[in-house]
């Protein structure tokens, strides 16, 4: 068996060849939307927001492919506890926003585009330097909608964003094939392998990058993380045979090894995408209110994170420079490691009030009990936040409002697709 013939048989006796398998359900829906127009779009939108029962009030019978997709979506992995979806991805939510953006988003995008086949497709959409900032913003919006409490409940922002992204990827796959994509040489555009890389990017790779700065997940957190993201994989169209038995980082590494054995070495397209993405992230973080590090210093920090996540040899192939002797990573790792004592294994447990102390306010209260209130269970303070903030800057700034949830939302990379589908 050659590298490009590598098959996945994880969790099932039905083999899937990641590079040549796609998403027939999503492909059929895209074809139906193009052929039937507005009635199909209305059926899809109502079904995504209200489920199969939402189709009862339609003037016409819903299209077959739309019904098939909705039925598939509503038959998710049995190991996903509905209460987990209400809580959200508490493991990722416990990561300070600074490190979630710098480590999780950056490393996930770098890993996703490390495949020459994926990089070739992405470069067709425009010059890496012109598209990097948009990819970072859109990916960050999608990730935060996906991990937020209730985000993956039917009709929730993460649920809608993930399914619409799935349909956008199907449309990109169709367009690439129509434009002469050489599947024999490059594999199917946006194949199961590409979907798996996206999924691994926000699970294994993301937390390897976080571990490089001293933020590690315990065993219980790993189980929660992969249980939650198994539902993301389902919504995204990743075949159960690829991710079905992955319950921790060790299982995810086996899937990654399988994928990497069938992936060619990074080429110039990959290195250009990686460099443009790092530059865009460094520029954005150095230009943020209160930032103290220069763009060059932030870029060096990102390079150190990616080297720590991927290793020296893979990092070299991606064109990521080696850390300088004055690298801050050892200090950052030590400071972040201290916060481990403040984290709890999911799900968070309410603390009992100590004797002689007043009880915590009722959950319906929207105001903290005091200005110095401790962070919620499972979320620790960030001891390294000051490294990227001016001494005279305020300790925090209001979190930007979540994107709107209406039909015209700009969610992940799907705003254009939502209008076209």
Output the pLDDT for position 364: 34
**Domain-located, residue 40:** no
Give the span between the Cα atoms of 158 and 154, in whole angstroms: 9
Would the pLDDT of 416 be above 70? no
Q: Is the pLDDT of residue 233 over 90?
A: yes
| Residue 48 lies inside a defined structural domain of this protein | no
Compare 293 and 156 and report the one with higher pLDDT. 156
Does 270 score more than 90 pLDDT?
yes
Domain count, the chain: 1
Res. 330 pLDDT band, cuts 50 70 90: low
| Mean pLDDT, residues 1-18 taken together | 46
Q: Is residue 93 part of a domain?
A: yes
DSSP-derived 3-state class of residue 184 = helix
Q: Which DSSP string do the residues of 373-400 spell out, in sequence order?
A: PPPPTT----TTGGGGS-TTS-S--PPP
Which is it for the CA torsion 299, 90, 371, 374, positive or negative? negative
Instruction: Please indicate, yes or no, if residue 366 is contained in any of the structural domains.
Output: no
Domain that holds residue 225: 81-153+185-326+410-420
Contacts of 315 (CB under 8 A, 6+ apart): 306, 307, 322
Residues in Cβ contact with 161 at an 8 Å cutoff, skipping those fewer than 6 apart: 141, 142, 145, 146, 409, 411, 412, 414
Q: What is the mean pLDDT of residues 231-240?
A: 96
Is 252 a domain residue? yes
For 197, the token pair is 């890389």
Does 122 fall in a domain? yes
* pLDDT of 272 over the 50 cut: yes
Please report whether residue 56 resides in a domain.
Answer: no
pLDDT exceeds cutoff 70 at 363? no
Q: Is the pLDDT of residue 20 over 60?
A: yes
The neighbour count for residue 396, using CB atoms within 10 Å, is 11
Q: What is the pLDDT of residue 335?
A: 64
Q: What is the mean pLDDT of residues 90-97?
A: 95
pLDDT of 319 higher than 70: yes
pLDDT over threshold 50, residue 299? yes
pLDDT at residue 421, rounded to an integer? 39
Q: What is the DSSP letter of 16?
A: B
- Find the range with the poorest average confidence among 133-142, 192-201, 318-327, 349-358: 349-358
Per the domain annotation, does 126 fall within a domain? yes
Q: Which residue has the tokens 């709890």?
A: 344
367-407 per-position pLDDT tens digit: 333 333 333 344 343 444 444 443 344 444 333 334 334 33
Exposure string over 195-212, b if 16+ CB within 10 A, otherwise e: bbbbbbbbbbbbbbbbbb
Three-point CA angle 139, 229, 329, nearest 5°: 60
As a whole number of angstroms, the distance between CA 229 and CA 48 comes to: 19
Indicate if the pLDDT at residue 355 is higher than 90: no
Q: Which of 81-90, 159-168, 316-325 has the lowest mean pLDDT?
A: 316-325
- Above pLDDT 70, what percent of the chain? 74
> What pLDDT shows up at residue 331?
63
Looking at the predicted structure, is the pLDDT value of residue 215 above 80? yes
């Amino acid at each position: 068996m050659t590298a490009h013939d590598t098959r996945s048989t994880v969790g099932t006796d039905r083999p899937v060849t990641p590079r040549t398998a796609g998403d027939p359900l999503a492909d059929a829906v895209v074809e139906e939307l193009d052929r039937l127009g507005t009635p199909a779009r209305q059926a899809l939108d109502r079904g995504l927001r209200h489920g199969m029962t939402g189709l009862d009030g339609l003037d016409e019978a819903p299209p077959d492919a739309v019904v098939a997709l909705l039925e598939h979506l509503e038959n998710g992995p049995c190991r996903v506890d509905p209460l987990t979806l209400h809580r959200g991805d508490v493991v990722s939510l416990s990561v300070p926003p600074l490190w979630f953006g710098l480590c999780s988003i950056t490393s996930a995008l770098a890993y996703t585009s490390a495949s020459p086949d994926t990089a070739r497709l992405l470069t067709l959409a425009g010059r890496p330097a012109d598209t990097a900032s948009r990819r970072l913003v859109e990916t960050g919006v999608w990730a935060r909608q996906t991990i937020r409490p209730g985000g993956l409940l039917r009709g929730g922002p993460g649920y809608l964003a993930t399914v619409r992204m799935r349909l956008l990827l199907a449309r990109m796959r169709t367009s690439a094939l129509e434009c002469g994509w050489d599947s024999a040489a490059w594999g199917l555009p946006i194949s199961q392998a590409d979907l798996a890389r996206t999924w691994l990017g926000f699970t294994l790779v993301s937390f390897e990058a976080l571990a490089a700065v001293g933020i590690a997940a315990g065993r219980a957190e790993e189980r929660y993380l992969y249980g939650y993201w198994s539902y993301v994989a389902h919504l995204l169209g990743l075949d159960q045979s690829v991710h079905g038995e992955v319950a921790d980082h060790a299982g995810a590494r086996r899937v990654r090894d399988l994928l990497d054995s069938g992936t060619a070495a990074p080429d110039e397209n990959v290195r250009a995408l990686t460099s443009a993405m790092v530059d865009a992230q460094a520029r954005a973080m150095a230009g943020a209110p209160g930032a103290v590090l220069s763009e060059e210093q932030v870029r060096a920090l990102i390079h150190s994170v990616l080297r720590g996540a991927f290793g020296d040899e893979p990092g070299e192939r991606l064109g990521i420079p080696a850390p300088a002797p004055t690298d801050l990573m050892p200090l950052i790792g030590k400071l972040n490691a201290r916060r481990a004592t403040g984290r709890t294994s999911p799900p968070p447990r309410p603390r009992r009030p100590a004797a002689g102390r007043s009880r915590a306010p009722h959950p319906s209260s929207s105001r903290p009990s005091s200005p110095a209130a401790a962070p919620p269970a499972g979320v620790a303070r960030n001891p390294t936040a000051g490294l990227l903030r001016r001494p005279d800057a305020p300790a925090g700034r209001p979190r930007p409002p979540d994107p709107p949830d209406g039909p015209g939302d700009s969610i992940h990379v799907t705003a254009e697709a939502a209008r076209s589908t």
